[in-house]
Structure 1
Amino acid sequence: MSENLARQFLIREDVVFLNHGSFGACPRPVFAKYQEWQLELEGQPVEFLGRRLTDLLREPRIALAAELGTTQDNIVGLTNATTGLNIVAQSLDLKPGDQILTTDHEYSALEKTWAYVCRKTGAEIVVVKVPLPLLTEAQFTDTIITGMTDRTKVLFLSHITSPTALLFPIERSIAEARKRGIWSVIDGAHTPGHIKLDLDALGADFYAGNCHKWMMSPKGSAFLHARPEVQGLLNPLVISHGWTAESKQPGARGAFGNSPFIDEIEIQGTRDPAPWLTVTAALDYRRDNDWDSVQAHCQALAQDTARRLGELTGLAPISAPEFCAPQMVAMPIPDCDTDQLKLDLYDKYSIEIPVFKWQDTCICRLSVQGYNSKPQMDLLLEALTDLLGLNAAANRRTA
């Protein structure tokens, strides 16, 4: 299966690409549709951007909303999840002494976002340490709820964490935040197309996700979801044609007939809308290729590779399998110069994979997508065995 699927992607054949999680990879049929949209735009830019764009942007909103368990009025297209989360973080009315509760597993760009907001507002960031290995839902949820206080105004959590590839069980934490009047803001950058989402049932106030990662649409396609009750809290990062002076009045409509939430964020001057318009093609591609079966195969391959590496290193995993992202796993490796190891993996074995130190743990983060294969996993283990001297270490353990 992987060999046939590999031919449907544009990944260079001389690279063993095990880093789908960073920026994704777009299948050839989806990429072709992306280029069709770009060519159509260039054929008559004024008609495309000036007269047709609002209607064109609606179709992927409808298709994506159905996929994500919500309605088209609750999501808006963006270039990436970081943009959506910045819109939320910079819109909320925070004051000196207010607290943003988060974990020690968050994406560095968003850590900087909240630090920026705190510098402007006087709010404070409170970081709770999630106990590892993560073995139960209660272990996670109890840690989060214990961190909540009367000063907590925002709960900011990743759904799937970037450095540790953990699937956080966030449902009860969100429900508790709602009961306490705490805004819940969820970083779902790795989640769409990776796990099944029902955003309305999840109940987070704000949820941002990328489509260009595991959903495999072109780079620059993402969304922000906001519950209807909190959409009025948001302000666009850029004031442009979609804004109206009456946008905060009850029942107001945006400049292009949608809600202010959609028009103010969606219409922000000249940009290439082709990535967002191609989301529908990406959803079609997944359905046409039985992607549920592909994902099941990838999950099995990822977990098997992590198990095999653990047997070589003697290091325990950082979570039970159910709390590991299905197609992405953070594999602990012996203490090493992670920057040099990453370079050696690429220079000597043509393996593209993130290697870094997170807190006190050295991690090799493996992503497995439909274009990957077991021989590639075997090569990764061979390379790590060589570069880290794992055979010698295993021999010492059994001596």
Structure 2
Amino acid sequence: MKSQFLLDPTITFLNHGSFGACPKPIFEEYQRFQLELETEPVLFIQKKAAGYLKTAREKLSTYIGCNSLDVFFTPNPTFAINTIMRSLDLQEGDEILSTNHEYGAMDRIWSFYSKKSGAKYIRQNITLPVTSKEQLLDEFWKGYNSKTKIIFLNHISSCTALVFPVKEICDRARELGIITIIDGAHVPGQMDLNIEDLNPDFYTGTLHKWMLAPKGSSFLYVKKAFQNTLDPLIVGWGYESVSPGESQFLDYQDYQGTRDISSFLTTPKVIEFLEKNNWKSIAKQSKSIVLGNYQRFCDLLHTQPLCPISEEFLVQMASIPVKTTNPIGLKELLFTKYKIEIPVMSLNGNFYLRYSINGYNSKEDLDVLYAALQDILATTDLIQE
């Protein structure tokens, strides 16, 4: 499978989670659309783009389990959450309930909104290590009160790689009349996803991470009840269109002026590649490698796993707690000396080595990391035991 990817063969690449990696057949499809765009830009943008987007959206909606008229493409989840944020109308003192495990860019979005609106962003503490789903749910709901109007939650935490019980939280939030906004950046392609079954009000995810699409391909699902209240982040020709399409919601969100939508249009090829290569089986094998090696890294670094080592909490990533006072130096040393691409994540004053495993990886890649950490422990003071 390594031969299918464009990754530098001299690097042990254990960081699929950050930006993904695109296989050659999908990248070639991406370039094919870019060439078609440049060959006749007017024909492409004015005549073909809408039809291409519809086909891509229909393929995507089947894959993620929603109606094709309820989802549109975005460059990334940050764009998607900004779109939602700009349309909210919370009052001073209203609360957005979240956790202290969210992605940094998302924390900044809600901090920005809070300063503008007077609403409060509540980063509810989730204790580590997590011992059970019940513990996680109990701690989360302690942040709820009568002022809670919105729940914002990652489905899989970027830093800790933990899977959160989104279904249970969405179900209870609906009973309480609370709007749910879910950041599923790491979910599509790593976990089975059926958005209509989860039943959130808003859900964003990427194609360019675990679905292997080119960079800058993501989506935002919006429940029909909220579509007319969602203003476009970029107002363009689709607003009060003189040639409306089948959905005002999609008109508002899809037409943003001249832009390269080629990454979105590779979606049919992306799904074809995943199905042709039995990617569910590959993902299962990758998950087995993740779970089977987590404890030995914690033992080496004299730390504890962040959760029970099971499919309930981990998929194709795991974060190893690491005691270091120089996370940047540790990451740089792993890359420059040992040729390992792996992030050192920071959350709430703690640091984690997060490894990702995908179809181009093997256990031997983790053996390379293990040997490098042994050497660092023996020869430097970058890691404290």
TM-score class, shorter = over 0.9
| Shift, 1:135, TM fit | 2.5
Q: What is the DSSP-based 3-state SS (H/G/I as helix, E as strand, rest coil) of the residue aligned with 1:168? A: coil
Moved more, 262-271 or 305-314: 305-314
Matched, 1:260 2:260: no
CA distance in 2, matches of 1:79, 1:147: 32
1:144 to 140, 143, 150: 140
CA distance in 1, matches of 2:338, 2:142: 46
Percent identical across equivalent pairs? 37
Matched, 1:374 2:363: yes
| Shift, 1:364, TM fit | 0.2
- Structure 2 counterpart of 1:322: 311
1:200 to 185, 196, 202: 196
CA distance in 2, matches of 1:337, 1:56: 48
| Shift, 1:131, TM fit | 2.0
Matched, 1:233 2:229: yes
CA distance in 1, matches of 2:379, 2:322: 10
Matched, 1:31 2:19: no
Give the CA RMSD over aligned residues: 1.8
Q: Residue 93 of structure 1 aligns to which amino acid in structure 2?
A: D
Question: Unmatched 5+ residue regions in structure 1?
Answer: 246-253
- Structure 1 counterpart of 2:275: 287
| Shift, 1:178, TM fit | 1.2
Q: What is the DSSP-based 3-state SS (H/G/I as helix, E as strand, rest coil) of the residue aligned with 1:96? A: coil
CA distance in 1, matches of 2:189, 2:313: 15
CA distance in 2, matches of 1:223, 1:260: 17
CA distance in 1, matches of 2:60, 2:248: 19
Matched, 1:50 2:46: yes
- Structure 2 counterpart of 1:251: none
In structure 2, relative to structure 1, the CA distance for the partners of 1:97 and 1:255 (3 Å cut) is: farther
| Shift, 1:257, TM fit | 0.9
| Shift, 1:14, TM fit | 1.3
Partners of 1:184 and 1:205 within 8 A in 2: yes
Q: Residue 338 of structure 2 aligns to which amino acid in structure 1?
A: Y
Which 4+ residue blocks in structure 1 deviate beyond 4 angstroms?
Answer: none
CA distance in 2, matches of 1:60, 1:330: 34
| Shift, 1:34, TM fit | 0.6
Q: Residue 370 of structure 2 aligns to which amino acid in structure 1?
A: L
| Shift, 1:203, TM fit | 0.7
CA distance in 2, matches of 1:70, 1:356: 33
Matched, 1:213 2:209: yes
Partners of 1:205 and 1:230 within 8 A in 2: yes
Q: Residue 31 of structure 1 aligns to which amino acid in structure 2?
A: F
- Structure 2 counterpart of 1:6: 2
Aligned length: 382
Matched, 1:79 2:68: no
- Structure 2 counterpart of 1:358: 347
CA distance in 2, matches of 1:12, 1:65: 33
Partners of 1:294 and 1:370 within 8 A in 2: yes
Q: Give the alignment's TM-score, normalised by structure 1.
A: 0.92
Partners of 1:312 and 1:391 within 8 A in 2: no
- Structure 2 counterpart of 1:18: 14
| Shift, 1:323, TM fit | 4.1
2:95 to 93, 99, 102: 99
- Structure 1 counterpart of 2:121: 125
- Structure 2 counterpart of 1:277: 265
Partners of 1:144 and 1:173 within 8 A in 2: no
Report Cα offsets for 1:163-205 as digits up to 9, x if no partner: 1111001112111111111110001111111100110010100
CA distance in 2, matches of 1:13, 1:376: 12
Partners of 1:336 and 1:362 within 8 A in 2: no
Q: Give the alignment's TM-score, normalised by structure 2.
A: 0.95
CA distance in 2, matches of 1:357, 1:67: 33
Question: Unmatched 5+ residue regions in structure 2?
Answer: none
Q: What is the DSSP-based 3-state SS (H/G/I as helix, E as strand, rest coil) of the residue aligned with 1:349? A: coil
| Shift, 1:255, TM fit | 4.8
Report Cα offsets for 1:73-99 as digits up to 9, x if no partner: 111011111111111111111111110
Report Cα offsets for 1:31-84 as digits up to 9, x if no partner: 011111111111111011011111110011111111111110111011111111
In structure 2, relative to structure 1, the CA distance for the partners of 1:164 and 1:104 (3 Å cut) is: same
Q: Residue 132 of structure 1 aligns to which amino acid in structure 2?
A: L
| Shift, 1:307, TM fit | 1.9
Q: What is the DSSP-based 3-state SS (H/G/I as helix, E as strand, rest coil) of the residue aligned with 2:228? A: helix
- Structure 2 counterpart of 1:298: 286
CA distance in 1, matches of 2:247, 2:52: 16
| Shift, 1:230, TM fit | 1.3
In structure 2, relative to structure 1, the CA distance for the partners of 1:391 and 1:295 (3 Å cut) is: farther
| Shift, 1:332, TM fit | 1.2
| Shift, 1:391, TM fit | 12
- Structure 2 counterpart of 1:385: 374
- Structure 1 counterpart of 2:321: 332
In structure 2, relative to structure 1, the CA distance for the partners of 1:278 and 1:391 (3 Å cut) is: same
Matched, 1:347 2:336: yes
Q: What is the DSSP-based 3-state SS (H/G/I as helix, E as strand, rest coil) of the residue aligned with 1:14? A: coil
CA distance in 2, matches of 1:37, 1:357: 38
CA distance in 1, matches of 2:82, 2:349: 29
Q: Residue 269 of structure 1 aligns to which amino acid in structure 2?
A: G
In structure 2, relative to structure 1, the CA distance for the partners of 1:366 and 1:324 (3 Å cut) is: farther
Q: What is the DSSP-based 3-state SS (H/G/I as helix, E as strand, rest coil) of the residue aligned with 2:220? A: strand
Partners of 2:159 and 2:346 within 8 A in 1: no
Q: Residue 163 of structure 1 aligns to which amino acid in structure 2?
A: C
Partners of 1:141 and 1:170 within 8 A in 2: no
Partners of 1:334 and 1:388 within 8 A in 2: no
CA distance in 2, matches of 1:185, 1:128: 16
